Structure 1
Amino acid sequence: MDKSRVNLLEYLRSKTQVDLDTFDVTAVGAVGQCVDCTSNQYEYYTELAKPTRRDILEKTLEETARLHDLFPEVIFEELGVEVGAVLLAGKMVPGFTGNVHLMVNPKYAYSKDKVYANAKRFHHLFALIDPSYDRSRIVIKVPATWEGLQACRLLHKDGVKTLGTTLFCMEQAVLAGEAGCVSISPFVHRLKILVEPAGYKDPHPVYTLSGRAQRWYRQHGIRTMVKSCATSGIDELLQLAGIDALTIVPDDLRELERGYRDADEVAAMSIVEDVAAEEKTEYPSYIDDEAKYRADFEKADEGRAIEKTAEAIDIFCGYQDKAEEVIRKARK
Structure 2
Amino acid sequence: MSDQLSQLKQFTTVVADTGDFAAIQLYQPQDATTNPSLILKTIEQAQYRHLAAEALQWAATTTDGDARITLAADKLAVLIGQQLMAQVPGYVSTEVDARLSFDTMATIEKAHQLLELYQAQGSDTSRVLIKIAATWEGIQAARVLEQQGVRCNLTLIFSFAQARACAEAGSYLISPFVGRILDWYKKQQPAQDFSGDQDPGVQFVRRVYHYFKTHRYPTIVMGASFRNSEEIRQLAGCDRLTISPALLQELADSTGPVPRRLHAEVPAEETPSTLTEAQFRWQMLEDQMASDKLQEGIRQFAADQQKLEDILRGL
Give TM-score, length-normalised by structure 1. 0.86
Deviation at 1:79, TM superposition (A): 1.4
How do 1:67-78 and structure 2 match up within 5 A? 67-68=62-63, 75-78=67-70
Tell me, yes or no, if the aligned pair for 2:214 and 2:266 is still in contact at 8 Å: no
- CA distance in 2: counterparts of 1:279 and 1:19, whole angstroms: 26
Q: 1:279 deviation in Å?
A: 4.7
State the shift of 1:30 in Å: 0.7
The reply to whether residue 182 of structure 1 matches residue 172 of structure 2 is yes
2:94 aligns to what? 102
Q: 1:79 is matched with which residue? A: 71
One-letter amino acid of the counterpart of residue 157, structure 2: L
Contact 1:48/1:54 (<8 A) preserved: yes
Does residue 26 of structure 1 match 2:22?
yes
Q: 1:184 touches 1:226 (CA, 8 Å); kept in 2? A: yes
Task: State how far apart, in whole Å, the 2-side matches of 1:161 and 1:117 are.
Answer: 14
Say if 2:302 is the partner of 1:317: yes
Contact 2:73/2:309 (<8 A) preserved: yes
CA contact (8 A) 1:208 1:272 kept: no
Q: SS at 1:92's partner residue? A: helix
Matched residue of 1:185: which SS?
strand
Q: Residue 116 of structure 1 corresponds to which residue in structure 2? A: 108
- Aligned-partner SS, 2:310: helix
- CA distance in structure 1 between the partners assigned to 2:267 and 2:170 by the alignment: 25
Which residue of 1 is the match for residue 151 of structure 2?
161
Structure 2 letter corresponding to 1:326: I
Q: What one-letter code is carried by the residue in structure 1 that aligns with 2:117?
A: L
SS of the counterpart of 2:227? coil
Deviation string, structure 1 residues 86-128 (Cα, Å, up to 9, x no partner): 1111111111110110010001111111111111110111122
Equivalent residue number for residue 280 of structure 1: 269
Matches of 1:119 and 1:214, distance apart in 2? 27
Matching residue's letter, 2:285: E
Q: Which amino acid aligns with 1:58?
A: A
1:259 equivalent among 248, 254, 262: 254
Deviations 1:263-294 (A, max 9, x none): 3xx42xx6534x963552124312xx211211
Q: Which residue of 1 aligns with 2:291?
A: 306
Q: CA RMSD in A?
A: 2.3
**Equivalent residues in 2 for 1:125-274, closer than 5 Å:** 125-128=117-120, 130=121, 132-190=122-180, 205-261=200-256, 263=257, 266-267=258-259, 271-273=261-263
Alpha-carbon separation, structure 1, partners of 2:85 and 2:181: 25
Instruction: Name the CA distance, whole Å, in 1 between partners of 2:311 and 2:246.
Output: 26
Q: 1:240-272, CA deviations, whole angstroms, 9 ceiling, x for partnerless residues?
A: 1010010001111111111111x3xx42xx653
Q: Which residue of 2 aligns with 1:292?
A: 279
Matched letter for residue 185 of structure 1? S
Separation (CA, whole Å) in 1 of partners of 2:14 and 2:214: 24
Q: Offset of 1:314 from its aligned partner?
A: 0.7
Structure 2 unaligned residues grouped into runs of 5+: 184-189
| Distance verdict in 2 for CA 1:192–1:81, change over 3 Å | farther
Specify the SS of the correspondent of 1:189. Answer: helix
Aligned partner of 2:7 among 7, 11, 30: 11
Structure 2 CA distance for aligned equivalents of residues 136 and 312 of structure 1: 27
Counterpart residue type for residue 282 of structure 1: T
Q: Determine if contact 1:82/1:122 at 8 Å carries over to the other structure.
A: yes
- SS class of match (2:216): coil
What's the TM-score, normalizing by structure 2? 0.90
Contact 1:8 1:256 in 2 (8 A): yes
Aligned to 1:92: 84
Q: Could you say what secondary structure the match of 2:154 adopts?
A: strand
- Partner in structure 2 of residue 196 of structure 1: none
Amino acid at match of 2:114: F
Residue pair 1:212, 1:276 contacting (<8 A) in 2 also: no
